[in-house]
């Protein structure tokens, strides 16, 4: 039977794209994230991602991954989500994310983390 497989290209509602490489037998994967959203002043470049997914038989797996923006930003993002069927039966990734910005002192810590939601569909 077929299970949820995040392998391939996905695009979210902001126009950011991610390419998930092969998912191994344990559910581990890596890939690349092409963000369309950035507060950084430097040019946006490919960012590496790494994560894991549950290998559920019903194709509605939960998953999580971290994005390393090392090329153009010193912030770190983590995404968690679930693969669900959309209205047309296509796979939709419902995700929530946390973004940690680097701050210079403990007094700035309060505003260092932001959160949001994104919906990804297959490209």
Residue 17 lies in a domain: yes
Quote the domain boundaries for residue 17. 8-122
Alpha carbon distance 41, 38 (integer Å): 8
Is 47 inside a domain boundary? yes
* Domain count along the chain: 1
CATH of the domain at 105: 2.40.128.30
Which one, of 36, 105, 112, 111, lies nearest residue 74 by Cα? 112
Q: Taking the CA atoms of the chain, what radius of gyration do you get in angstroms?
A: 15
Answer whether residue 15 is part of any domain: yes
Tallying the residues shown for the chain, one arrives at 123
| 103 falls within a domain | yes
Question: Is residue 72 in a domain?
Answer: yes
Measure the CA–CA gap between 53 and 83, rounded to whole angstroms. 10
In eight-state DSSP terms, residue 74 is S
Tens-level pLDDT at each residue, the chain (123 residues): 456 789 999 999 989 999 999 999 999 999 999 988 766 666 667 899 999 999 877 778 999 999 988 777 888 999 999 998 878 878 899 999 999 999 999 999 999 999 999 999 999
């Amino acid at each position: 039977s077929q299970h949820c497989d995040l392998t391939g290209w996905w695009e979210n509602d902001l126009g950011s794209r991610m390419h998930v490489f092969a998912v191994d037998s344990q559910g581990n994967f890596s890939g690349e994230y092409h963000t369309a959203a950035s507060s950084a002043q430097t040019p946006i470049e490919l960012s590496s991602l790494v994560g894991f997914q549950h290998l559920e038989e019903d194709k509605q797996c939960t998953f999580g991954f971290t994005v390393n923006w090392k090329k153009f930003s010193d912030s770190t993002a983590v995404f968690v989500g679930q693969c669900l069927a959309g209205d047309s039966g296509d796979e939709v990734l419902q995700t929530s994310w946390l973004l940690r910005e680097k701050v210079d002192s403990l007094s700035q810590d309060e505003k260092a983390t932001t959160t949001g939601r994104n919906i990804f569909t297959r490209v």
